[in-house]
Amino acid sequence: MSRQIEYRDALREAMSEEMRRDPRVFLMGEEVAEYNGAYKVSRGMLEEFGPQRVIDTPISETGFTGLAVGAAMMGLRPIIEFMSWSFSLVAADQILNNAPKMLYMSGGQFGCPIVFRGNNGAGGQLGSTHSWCVESLYANVPGLKMAIPFDPYDAKGLLKTAVRDDNPVFFLESERLLSVKGEVPEEEYLVPFQQALVRRPGADCTVVSFGRPLYFCLEAAQALAEDGIECEVIDGRTIRPLDIETIVQSVRKTNYCVVVDQSWPFASVGAEIAAQVHERCFDDLDNHVARVHADDVPPPYAYNLEQEMLPNARKICEAVRSVTYNA
């Protein structure tokens, strides 16, 4: 049975259900307990699970991330909340040099089943240093997994899968989506990794994206459909592992591809997907793979400039028209 709940509530349900199921799971981060979470994602969890499993930390990502690595090595399953993924940069040694490599470096003796989660990308006039899109920077490291949920259904299902995974999982949410409502079943379910989803079928051009930019892709697809261009919109869901097969299958049908990525363009996830599509679909493509990214500048503070810097429906429409010769 489904009901309409907010993205933030879907995240809380996922964490609470997994904490009830497995006593090794705990939540730790800044303001997650007494304040109910900076964005109210963990509202009520302190009352249910107590201060030993919902733990407020000092403003020290380096410290509590290192603690989580040690806890995971000893058999616990931490969920670490970064108030913003921008703040994770000060813990880069722990999350990139320790957690993803621990199983390999210990010869299989110590795993690191940690979920690192929090808000990624521009949240709305937060300035350059608080608006990082970290997927391109972090997805380069082997040994980790990365999920980017689009709606409340995936937010819950992917997070439950992440908590049960024996590898470190980077779970990239969006502050701009936390109040979005969507259908979420009351019964338990999981969304598996490496299983992309066709959000809108079409035969004229494949549009691939992850997370919040998918809303712009669907908006663009609706506008293009009014002009007779039917786009197939694919939600990749996870970057590591990447379901390239679903993307390839679509491109072989449509013969055109546009990748939409909120990261900067240089050495990006969008660039990687475009490269893989070119390698696998060279004879099927009728044009190069186009990419729509955030502009290659630090995110501005001014609202109008920030909106112009990010991917949007207009830019996606222009990219689709350019590759399908419908300019």
What is the radius of gyration, based on Cα positions, of the chain?
A: 20
Rounded to whole angstroms, how far apart are CA atoms 228 and 112? Answer: 49
- Residues labelled as active-site residues: 61, 130
